[in-house]
A and B are shown apart, each in its own frame.
Chain A
């Protein structure tokens, strides 16, 4: 049985870790890109790597945009949770806001009144007796240039072009070199979730389809921070699901160079 306190403590710890330390997979790609680049692009990548070092040493968030905490919870049906996962997630975010600390980023969408920090929680029921948690603080710079498109069946051949054009349109705004999460298929809502979940993967593992898109993106020349260079994206991560015979949903969730994520299993 997983207790509420344990869940909250774990989520607080994951938020802190995601904000202050970068995963080894992401770091590896950043280091490789730094070696390949020269001029401004190299200088910027060196600054980003130095920033990661300072954040880890001082235990402070690497970016002032501590994001909206997106929390993925896979609950095993035998974990016998006796608490509200959504409420416990909000409590964890409240604690993390003080402890990490986090910038109060959540506002009412219309009045723009600040309400502190509120998480987005995606919960699933799965087999087993464990609770798997993934935390992804998502910043606005990259989220603002993400796109969802309801393509038509005849557009299947130009999916790659559509993805590349979203990246081109985003330019330097999302803090490149970026990670490109893509959801193809499902429904309107499902495609977006697929794109976001894709960003949780080990970014070093790409298939041929993903590598082809990556190559096309990197031929755009946008470069680190949009100032030109060979590295516009570090990885393209695609998830697919079957969809209606009459539709083709495609969602592109852009993530900044700091693909912040942290994972834990409890119970």
Chain B
């Protein structure tokens, strides 16, 4: 098992060297998006309003996550923040992969054939252990930005600063290999 400790700012440069089965720990900025955020991103793109989309969506790994947060005296505390089921984002992911400079998706459960094809020659799908929300929160240092709070806690877009975020298994690589035979 090959293990990589990668920086989110540099991951795009080495992403095509990663192979299905490799284990990755990420450090840097990731941006969350799940169903509602994906729908809004695609709507804005379709109506020619790309500038209204958080810039991190096109420059950071996208993390399929609807976190549990608590607002305290020290600001926003991440209580539990594991991945959500990625397959729900199948219809939206190819469009985002076309436009991003950081073709890395983090989630759980795998993604469909259309996403495997969109990742070819481009990027990877990383699987963080599903349900490990407390472990994930432990690896999130802080919430740097919050966008689209009107969507509610679970659906808003957050920029997390993470440290050694993993273990993330490369579930789908840029050569078309997938560890998922049932998705």
- CB within 8 Å of B: which residues of A? 39-40, 43-44, 47-48, 50-52, 54-55, 58, 60-66, 101-105, 112, 114, 139-141, 144, 168-175, 220-222, 224-228, 256-258
B167 touches A64 (CB 8 A): no
Do the beta carbons of B79 and A227 come within 8 Å of each other?
Answer: no
B40 part of interface (Cβ distance < 8 Å):
no
Contact B134–A47 (Cβ < 8 Å): no
Per-residue CB contact flags for chain B residues 148-183 toward chain A (1 = under 8 Å, else 0) read: 000011100000000000010101000000011111
- Beta-carbon contact of B135 and A171 below 8 Å: no
Contacts A40-B21, A112-B36 given; 8 further ones with Cβ under 8 A? A44-B167, A51-B134, A52-B134, A105-B154, A141-B108, A222-B182, A225-B108, A228-B179
A51 pairs with B182, CB closer than 8 A: no
Instruction: Tell me the complex Cα distance, A171–B127, Å.
Output: 14
Per-residue CB proximity of B40-84 to A under 8 Å, as 1/0?
000000000000000000000000011110100000000111101
B interface, size bucket: 35 or more
Which B residues are closer than 8 A to A by beta carbons? 1, 21, 23, 36, 65-68, 70, 79-82, 84-85, 87, 108-110, 127, 129-138, 152-154, 167, 169, 171, 179-183
Q: How far is the CB of A226 from chain B (nearest CB, A)?
A: 5
- Known contacts A103-B68, A226-B109, A226-B110; A175/B79 CB under 8 A: no
A140 to B81, CA, bound (A): 15
Pairs A–B under 8 Å by Cβ, sample size 11: A40-B179, A43-B1, A47-B129, A61-B133, A114-B152, A141-B130, A173-B109, A221-B181, A222-B181, A227-B169, A256-B131
Complex CA gap A128/B8 in Å reads 60
Minimum CB–CB distance for B25 against chain A, Å: 12
Asked whether A64 lies within 8 Å of B80 as measured between CB atoms, the reply is: yes
A interface majority secondary structure: loop
Q: Are A173 and B87 in contact (CB under 8 A)?
A: yes
* Pair A175/B130 contact, Cβ less than 8 Å: yes
With known contacts A104-B153, A141-B85, A225-B108, A51–B133 Cβ distance under 8 A: yes
Instruction: Tell me whether B138 and A54 are in contact (CB under 8 A).
Output: yes
Q: Given the known A-B contacts A54-B135, A54-B138, A64-B133, are A172 and B183 also in contact in the complex, defined by CB atoms under 8 Å?
A: yes
In Å, the complex CA distance between A124 and B127 comes to: 41
